[in-house]
Amino acid sequence: MFSKKMQEALNDQIHHEMESAYIYLAMAAYFAEENYPGFTHWMKMQFDEEMIHAFKFYDYIHSRGAKVVLQAITQPPAEFDSPLSAFETALGHEQKISADIHNLYALALEEKDYPSLSFLQWFIDEQVEEEEHVGGVVEDIKRVSGSDQGLLMLDRELGQRLPPSPEEE
């Protein structure tokens, strides 16, 4: 079992992951309404991935003999100015989640909670990938800025995203 402070911080991270999922689902709804099926698909896959992350924390807390305490999730934005705006918002959110994970790692280090350090290392590596992927989409959208054909091609490309891999689960 771990300290009350660590337990609360891990429960907070479930909240952050669930909130992330909800934000991606809101973005998927926005893209569906704007008739971007590829962007919609990509955001739904991101929703699935964030839910997997939330359940990793959920299962980890239980595995350490602690209690999961769920928190309310705030309503995400329903509108975005453009596909670029939505993906920039996603990138900013991934950067926030990275900072949250780093803070958890620092707390685990401070508390000498070695099992949590091991557990959190996967998330540190995962967040590097998340920021790289979302940042890449932001750059791609900027490259095709002003080109409806370019945006359509990017939408089709992102529609090919595969579901989260087995190691995500």
CB atoms within 10 A of CB 102: 14
% of the chain beyond a pLDDT of 90? 92
Q: Is this prediction's pTM over 0.85?
A: yes
> How far is 52 from 164, CA to CA, in rounded Å?
9
Query: What integer pLDDT is reported at residue 2 of this predicted model?
Result: 87
Report the chain's mean pLDDT, rounded to a whole number. Answer: 95
Query: What integer pLDDT is reported at residue 163 of this predicted model?
Result: 85
4-168: what CATH class? mainly alpha
Query: What integer pLDDT is reported at residue 20 of this predicted model?
Result: 97
**Taking a C-beta distance cutoff of 8 angstroms, is the pair 144, 150 a contact?**
yes
For residue 164, pLDDT beyond 80: no
pLDDT digits (tens, 9 = 90+) for 63-88: 999 999 999 999 999 999 999 999 99
Q: What is the 3-state secondary structure (H, E, C) of the chain?
A: CCCHHHHHHHHHHHHHHHHHHHHHHHHHHHHHHCCCHHHHHHHHHHHHHHHHHHHHHHHHHHHCCCCCCCCCCCCCCCCCCCHHHHHHHHHHHHHHHHHHHHHHHHHHHHCCCHHHHHHHHHHHHHHHHHHHHHHHHHHHHHHCCCCHHHHHHHHHHHCCCCCCCHHHC
> How far is 64 from 88, CA to CA, in rounded Å?
36
> How far is 132 from 3, CA to CA, in rounded Å?
33
